[in-house]
Amino acid sequence: MPPKMAETTATDLRYQTFYRLGGIASIVIAVSVAFAITAYFIWPYKGNTTSIESIFTLLQTDRLGGLISLDISMLLIAPINILMFLSIYAALRQADESIALIALVLAVIAVVLVIVCRPLIELTVLSDHYATATDPTEKLRYLAAGEVLRSSLDGTAWMMQTVFFMLAGLINCLLMLRTTFFSKATAWLGIVISAIGLGFFLPTIGLLFLFLNTIGSVPWCFLVARDLLRLTKGNPSQ
């Protein structure tokens, strides 16, 4: 059997602490995403469904609800992904280090893009200035600045981070199939939800595919956590 097709059954035990942290991070991500899904039905997303003036008003009357409706959960969860993807890379580098590195780079870029496309602090500051402004011209200026920031919530950075996250997940899960320390269930579920997530480009039903990807990411993160924590015991083949 050619070396590139051989199953990887051993991993570097020097990364046991890393795997443990990655497993914990995966659990945190799963719980956080589940909370975000629940919160969505209480505070629906407002980024592209209402005016910037209404967003400013919401941030003044219900600061927490307003931030949740602007997807602050996505902003908080994204950096934790770095630890999970780093741990996955540490394990999958045994299968194909160059391909695993590509997936890691895509994931890190995606995290940076999430921060770029969620200028929530800026929107909150503008909301405060708008609330205290008395001059109509000044209010219009804050509304115009807020409109520019609001456009970035669903702009190019948001689209690219979605693509990069899905590609990173797809690449990692394809590599998982060549190992024994990641289960087939983890690999195949990741492949399915990543492929579904890439369907967000489809008109009309694209957001439904993205929502299905979000729901599927909860059990996938738990499976990743199980596999990473199993690696800390130094017996990956079981």
The predicted-structure confidence for 93-146, as pLDDT tens digits, reads as follows: 888 999 999 999 999 999 999 999 999 999 999 999 999 988 889 999 999 999
Please report the pLDDT score of residue 123 as a whole number. 94
* Claim: this prediction has a pTM higher than 0.85: yes
Instruction: Give the count of alpha carbons within 13 A of 191, CB side only.
Output: 11
- Nearest to residue 200, comparing CAs of 171, 159, 172, 154? 159
Who's near 220: CB < 8 A, 6+ residues apart? 186, 189, 190, 193
Q: Largest alpha-carbon pair distance within the chain?
A: 75
pLDDT of residue 94: 86
pLDDT score at 2: 42
Paired tokens of 122: 């800026």
- pLDDT score recorded for residue 11: 53
Find, among 235, 227, 236, 215, the residue nearest to 84 by Cα.
Answer: 227
CA distances 194 to 73, 128, 187, 213, Å, are 20, 39, 11, 7
Q: Please give the Cα distance from 6 to 140 (Å, whole number).
A: 63
Which stretches of the chain drop beneath a pLDDT of 50?
A: 1-6, 236-238
pLDDT at residue 238 in the model: 41
| Residue 95: C-alpha distances to residues 62, 100, 211 (Å) | 49, 8, 31
